[in-house]
Amino acid sequence: MAKKSFKQFCAEVVQKVPSIATDIFEIATSPNPAGVAISKVSDLLKSKAEKDEKARLALDELQQYQMEWEKEMYALDIEAYKTEVSDRAGARQKYIDADKASADAIGQQIIGRNLTYIFILLLVQVAVTISSVFLASGFIEDKQTAVTIGSSLGSVVGAAIGTVIGSLLQERNQVVGFHFGSSMGSRQKDYK
């Protein structure tokens, strides 16, 4: 005996009991099988309820269960919606918290490191100026000219270092302004 395909099996079942097989197929392929099954049973009971008292009572009981089931489904839908909204709010808050944390970390780095960089750059400027004067005095006999040339070289390097120091101080001021200006205002709005 050759094995039948599922399609052949379904065709034979539909031929033997067409109304039930069609209903079962519709229930099985429905996105809401319980709702379709209740509807099919309800339709069957409605067709017999006019002539049979037991069918009418069963239909009434089924309709009560159907209303309770639908109420539970609505409650589950509402709960799923609330969970989704809560999840979105949680994700949004997590993003806000992560954004604040990264902004705070960057701010702390700028506040802490920029002063160190400025101090190092000032030492470099002094070292370059002094070494330029000593280096120039080694090549130039006239001490006044050597000091002038060394100081000039030191001032050129100092101007470049001064620009960098100005940028570092400006960065620091922006971080302080952000944290005690707009950021504090935003946090105060969050608490209202």
Q: Which of 7-21, 61-75, 162-176 has the lowest mean pLDDT?
A: 7-21
Q: pLDDT for 65-115, tens place per residue?
A: 888 888 988 898 899 888 887 877 776 677 677 777 777 788 788 888 888
- DSSP letters spanning 128-171: HHHHHHHHHHHH-S-HHHHHHHHHHHHHHHHHHHHHHHHHHHHH
Structure tokens at 75: 């409650």
Distance of CA 50 to the CA centre of its chain: 59
pTM: 0.42
- C-alpha distances in angstroms, 117 versus 47, 94, 153, 159? 90, 34, 21, 16
Place of tokens 């130039």: 140
